[in-house]
Amino acid sequence: MEVLRIVIILLLCLLTINVSAQKSFLLSGVIRDTSNTPITQAMVTIENTNIGAYTDSNGSYSMKVKPGEHTISISAYGFNLQKETIKINNSTNHNFTLKKLLVDISEIQVYGKTTSQQLREGSFTVNALEVRNITSSLSDLNNLVGKSSGIKIREEGGVGSDFDLSINGLSGNAVRYFIDGVPLSSMGNGVSLANLPVNIVDRIEVYKGVVPAHLGSDALGGAINIITKKDKQNYLDASYGIGSFNTHKADFNSRYVHPKSGLFFQSSVGINYSKNNYIMKDVETRIDNKFVTTDAERFHDDYLSLLTQFIVGINNTKWADLFSISASYFNADKDVQTGSNQKHVYGMVTQNNQTYHVSAQYRKSKFLTKKLSTDIHISYTWDYKTTTDTAYRKYYWDGSYSPSQRNERLGGAKSIRHINTPLGIVRGNFTYTINNKHSLNLNYLLNHLTNDLYDDLDKEFKSSQNVFSRHIVGLSYNQQLWNNKLNNAFFIKDYISHLEIGQDGNYWITGAREINQSTVTNNYGYGFSSRYSFNEQIALKASYEHTFRLPLAEELLGDGLNRVANFKLKPEHSQNYNFGIFGTFNKGSKHHLFYETGLFYRPVEDYIRYVADINEGDGGQYQNVNNVTVKGIEGELRYDYSNTLGFIANITYLDERNKTKYQDNGKPDISYNNRIPNRPWLFGNLEINYRKENPFGRRNTLLRLSYVYQYVHWQYFSWQAYGYEPGKSRVPSQYMNNADLTYSLNNEKYNISFHCKNILNQTIYDNFRMQKPGRYFFLKLRIFLN
């Protein structure tokens, strides 16, 4: 309630901001580019005042100005800054024409609104993160996403380790990942934010709770959409980085466009390698049959991933705005050092992921009719995952081992376990523009896979093959009213799943005989998002979605290792509410302050959780076990001074409660309404950026310095209220200090950056007893030619 009170006071304070009504004249007009196309979200400011306005979707602006001579400054993303002095004696209509930048727009920062900022100021609650501008200094995308508001990434180790990303408290499979609107899994189950080449990415959109229908998502907690670069020009972008713990990263991205035909060829490669041989502090190892605490180097944590992609396509023909065919290959070899607890040490377990992927995309505006545009994507993926666990050894942290009678991970017989998952995806997106204020969008997403499990060595393992299809249809209506002050989107979604069971083993556990061999489920979701902008300083947004998340293949069909199938699994569902307030204060053209705060509420039912097996044998299965409610508040401030000094601060508070009143046996659950343990609930980030053009007197150079402080408050490992409190296990508070230094030459063609993570070399855990790397240095060289 205290938090709510503060928000209400803040709201009232902001509402009382009043623009003084002195005698003034109206200055209005239209901003266009040289081809006479209106420019939206261009910023028009009166120098040395705090008066300014953004253009609407027609490129129009208007503002009240005192009489006299004024210098008008117009800036827009991708255009040259323009200044003009005009005399105002009465209401004046004045149009401006901006010239496009001739260089890559990433090299210039202007105060016009970027796509990301426009997205942030849209009706959905979204973190829009620019990658393009910081490609030179970024080592991986997790680093960027993890420090944004409301997001927490919990990593289990170093490069290539498993991680869990939560959006406003909901994590794991509740979050869906997309790349250009298509499920990221189409590139392979092993492809993630952690190993995707940084320099193919333009920006990342993180939708919190309410997800637009065009993503075709059945996400419960939100969705992450990675937008790749689509520059229509030739370029070559190559980088190589070397870091602590024998880490090497190389990214290559190039594009050639044939100017006459519009044909283009794009290739990209991303390589990640690390030995991850960082020091584990205060771990136990064995000396003479006794356990002693010591520091030890990780010895079986090598990770090597390779992602290659080749795209050939054509732009701007009569029959297509874009038509492309793409093929990619992904391979990851990973040594598995530990189990779910760092005390479970492995020395020989390995995993391999291999994925082959082909796809085609067709995009066309004025498709069939003048007002219809379409975007169609078809892909097929061959995904192979192999886990090898054949050593009869028991390893210790010093790398020594003793002979054992069982394999390392499952404690059973030697095993080479395969999961082959051929996956087909079809996405069709159609937008019908009724007029410039109203549009309809229809999205269809088909996800069809086969899950083929078998083991080369373990005779006890029962092979299986199941087929699972998911269809998600979304229809949305978007409107922009009252000169774009009010922006609404209404949508409905239909979630359909089709399961064909091809296994009968353990039918009393999997429920294989309790449902039809071929089963179809159908659920409807709906929602809206709305934003009302009072003025530049204050805007309100609200959104709601009744959403379902269909079980994933692994949850429904098992993983062949320690997850048993559960064919009776129901979709989990929630009502997601967001309410936010945001705005921008500009003082002259130098001071810019953006603020945003949001409240969220997520009552989740039939939450799908992994439940350890209470029958004989290993592992367990996913079950609809409980109801959970997450509510919280988050806030972010962004300040920029003259494109030189910037501050970003955000903080998130979560209150995640168990709302399961009764246990499976029908009796009350003592933990009802208690805070869910072992989840971060208070965390924040502070980022300070300094940018200096032409430092040290050298022209066309740029120096960037960045410092990031990340904080996560401690949490209980198990239920807080029960048991003697001083004796309870905790995941301790985390304080992490990171710094970046980037120096660019020749208009950012040549870049060198130096990154230091965990400067103070503190022992850091994201999860209970899963130690992360200590101080980490990374040096990156990047060449960008266009």
Partner 1 sequence: MKKLNFYFNVLFIAAMSLTLFSCEDEETTVDPNPLDTAHFDIWVSIGGTGGMGSENTQLVQNTKDLDNASTVIDYKGTGVDVTAKLFQESIIKGQYYYQIPQEKDRFGKYRIGTTGIETIKEIAFGTNTYKDRRYAHAWIDDNTFVVLAANGDKDGIIWTKFNAADMTIIAEGTLEGLTDGLDAYSTSGLADYRASDNQILYSYCHNSSSKRDKVYMAFINANDMSVVKTVEDNRASFMAGTAYGQLLQDKAFFDENGDYYLACNTKIDDGNTSSTEQYGSLLRIKAGATDFDQSYLGYRTGSNGKGKLITVQSLESGKALLYVQDPEYTQAAGWGSNYNCFYAILDLTTDEITVLDLPFSEGTFSQRSVVLGNKAYVGVNPENSAPCVYVYDIENKKLTKGLTITEGYSFDRIVTLEDAK
Residues near partner 1, by CB under 8 A? 284, 286, 289-291, 341, 343-345, 392, 394, 396, 402-407, 411-414, 460, 507-508, 513, 611-617, 620, 626, 658, 660, 663-672, 677, 717-719, 721-729, 768-769
Instruction: Compute the least distance from the CB of residue 511 to partner 1, in Å.
Output: 10
CB of 610 to partner 1, least distance (A): 8
State how far the Cα of 461 lies from the Cα of 51, in Å rounded to an integer: 71
Nearer to partner 1, 180 or 669 (CB): 669
Q: What is the DSSP letter of 203?
A: E
For residue 82, the one-letter residue type is Q
Output 427 or 659, the one with its CB closest to partner 1: 659
Angstrom distances, CA of residue 470 to CA of 159, 358, 369, 610, 657: 32, 20, 30, 21, 30
N residues, the chain: 786
Q: Is the dihedral of CA 733, 173, 649, 630 positive or negative?
A: negative
- Minimum CB–partner distance for residue 627 and partner 1 (Å): 12
Q: Which two tokens stand for residue 582?
A: 């945001």
Q: Closer CB to partner 1, residue 260 or residue 667?
A: 667
User: CB-based contacts of 72: which residues, under 8 Å, 6+ apart?
Assistant: 27, 44, 45, 46, 47, 83, 84, 85, 86, 94, 96
* In the complex, minimum distance from the CB of residue 616 to partner 1, in angstroms, rounded to a whole number: 4
Cα 327 from Cα 337, distance rounded (Å): 32
Can you tell me the distance from the alpha carbon of 104 to that of 114, in angstroms, rounded to the nearest whole number?
Answer: 14
- Alpha-carbon distance of 622 to 553, in angstroms, equals 11
DSSP letter at 733 equals: -
Smallest separation, CB 626 to partner 1 (Å): 7
Q: Kindly state the smallest distance separating residue 411's Cβ from partner 1, in Å.
A: 4
Compare residues 259 and 727 and give the one whose CB is closer to partner 1.
727
- Name the residue nearer to partner 1 (CB basis): 2 or 288: 288
The residue type at 712 = V
Based on CB atoms, which residue is closest to partner 1, 297 or 613?
613
Q: What angle do CA 432, 435, 441 make, to 5 degrees?
A: 25
Nearer to partner 1, 104 or 455 (CB): 455
Nearest approach in angstroms of CB 172 to partner 1 is 14
Shortest Å, Cβ 436 to partner 1: 54
φ and ψ at residue 77, rounded to 5 degrees: -65, 120
CB of 344 to partner 1, least distance (A): 6
Least separation in angstroms between residue 236's CB and partner 1 is 50
Cα-atom radius of gyration of the chain, to the nearest Å?
A: 27
Nearer CB in complex with partner 1: 91/341: 341
In the complex with partner 1, the residue whose CB is nearer, 246 or 663, is 663
Least distance in angstroms from the C-beta of 723 to partner 1? 3
| Residues 55/97, Cβ–Cβ less than 8 Å | no
| Shorter beta-carbon distance to partner 1: residue 67 or 505 | 505
Q: Residue 393 CB, nearest distance to partner 1 (Å)?
A: 9
Nearest approach, Cβ of residue 724 and partner 1 (Å) = 5
CA dist 776 to 330, 508, 585, 755, Å? Answer: 27, 50, 37, 8
Around Cβ 661, how many Cβ atoms within 10 Å?
12
- Give how far Cα 664 sits from Cα of 145, 623, 661, 674, Å: 38, 11, 10, 18
Torsion of CA 668, 673, 678, 681, to 10 degrees: 170
Nearer to partner 1, 414 or 713 (CB): 414
Quote the distance between the C-alpha of residue 115 and its chain's center: 16
Nearer to partner 1, 622 or 743 (CB): 622
Closest by Cα among 440, 320, 439 to 375: 320
Q: In terms of CB distance, is 449 or 565 closer to partner 1?
A: 565
d(CA 556, CA 578): 30
Listed residue (786, 781, 780, 774) closest to 276, CA to CA: 774
